[in-house]
Structure 1
Amino acid sequence: MPVDLIGGRVTTPGSAQADRIATVPNALSVLRLLGVPLFLWLLLGPQADLLAIVVLMVSGFTDWADGWLARRLNQQSSLGTLLDPAADRLYILATLFGFSVRDIIPWWLAAVIVGRDLILAAVLALLRRYGYAPLPVHYLGKAATFNLLYAFPLLLIGDGDGTLSAVVRPIAWAFTIWGTVLYLWSGGLYVLQALRLIMAARGTARLVQNP
């Protein structure tokens, strides 16, 4: 069984378990993906913030549930390892875009988080060039996503003018700051892991060329 650099187990590519598609965790991930355009429309169209918050809360719950069910039901799959982080990133990107348009968060904060994802996309392309699959999601990345997905509905609530908004606003920004820090930290760890693999691959290639 392959082991990643953090020590976690990875599903073996090509195995029956890895190739499964019709699983409960995958269904939840697809449901989360379908909620992204709905959330963005609620946020920017009718600005139905309460319904948008409900969509975010459901997304946060299913983000936890699909991972828990995958382990509980032994339904880990290659598709699931792609769908879960894809749904996370789409929700984060959609929310950052919508919040920036509505001036709930500054544009520079959105740019920092999006810039991290662009760097990781370039690193992922480099990994594939050397024959590596995407690395498993680090627990810090999951913690960052947890903080951000919980910060977003609180930021919406804190965008108002009432007493509740005033109470929630500092809590929302605490989640946002912690989530952003962890998001950048996990991205840095991902880059370091990738560089180690790439350097090892280059070293092996040199040995083959110059035995």
Structure 2
Amino acid sequence: MLRLVLVPVFLVLIVRADFVAALVVLVVASLTDLLDGFLARRLGQITRLGQLLDPAADRLYIFAALIGLAAQGLVPWWIVAIIVARDAFLLILGVVLANHGFGPLPVHQLGKVATFALFTGLPVIMLGPAFPAIEAVTAPVGWAITLWGAFLYWWAGVIYAIETVRVIRMPRVARDPRSDTLGSGG
């Protein structure tokens, strides 16, 4: 929940061009995310709500960074459109799955790598305006990681689309009224 509360703070700091403070907020949010995930796995307290909120918070931080950096003229709006379009595409896939009686697909490892790349590349881009002496290094490195992340983000989206088609074409197994569960094929 702390990560979600910090998203608007992060966005305001970027829009105000306070990149050092924005990076501090992002580091705090990232460390709390790592701690939360570690504790949840370690203590066996993984919840469905946590499984939904964690990727939602990731997306919100990515969107906030993109919008703030685009508003500052540090990234072009087309990169914002590419990344937002991929998430809109996944939202459509989620509706298709729901209309066929399925929940969301499990997270693919490539999607995690893409998110990690974006979570790395965008802050590296922010390092330049925060610390101008290193901008000559951080700008190309940040852009390389961010563009690679955007590519992987869409590649994972294509994998999710293929998996969606595969899942909705699978024959459904009738419910077993004694166990109220789906058969192994459903």
TM-score for both structures, normalised by structure 2:
0.85
- Does structure 1 residue 190 correspond to structure 2 residue 160? yes
Secondary structure in 2 matching 1:131? coil
- The letter for the 2-side match of 1:81 is Q
**Structure 1: gaps (5+ residues):** 1-29, 206-211
**Cα deviations by residue, 1:86-130 (Å, 9 ceiling, x for unpaired):** 001111111111111111111111111110001100110111111
Aligned pairs for 1:51-130 (under 5 A) are 51-130=21-100
Give the length in aligned residue pairs. Answer: 173
1:160, CA displacement in angstroms?
6.4
1:57, CA displacement in angstroms?
1.7
Q: State the distance in 2 between where 1:136 and 1:66 align.
A: 20
**Structure 2: gaps (5+ residues):** 174-186
Q: State the distance in 2 between where 1:116 and 1:131 align.
A: 23
**Cα deviations by residue, 1:151-202 (Å, 9 ceiling, x for unpaired):** 22211122468331112222211221221122111111111111111112xx
- Does structure 1 residue 176 correspond to structure 2 residue 176? no
Asked whether the 8 Å contact 2:18–2:130 carries over to 1, the reply is: no
Q: State the distance in 2 between where 1:196 and 1:147 align.
A: 28
Asked whether the 8 Å contact 1:159–1:169 carries over to 2, the reply is: no
- The letter for the 2-side match of 1:91 is Y
Aligned to 1:41: 12
Secondary structure in 2 matching 1:136? coil
**Cα deviations by residue, 1:50-102 (Å, 9 ceiling, x for unpaired):** 00011112223333333332222111111111001100111111111111111
1:143–1:59: structure 2 CA closer, same or farther, 3 Å change rule?
A: farther
Asked whether the 8 Å contact 1:57–1:153 carries over to 2, the reply is: no
TM-score for both structures, normalised by structure 1:
0.76
Aligned to 1:148: 118
1:143–1:68: structure 2 CA closer, same or farther, 3 Å change rule?
A: farther
- Does structure 1 residue 199 correspond to structure 2 residue 163? no
Identity of aligned residues (%): 46
Aligned to 1:4: none
Q: State the distance in 2 between where 1:100 and 1:57 align.
A: 20
CA RMSD between the two structures: 1.8
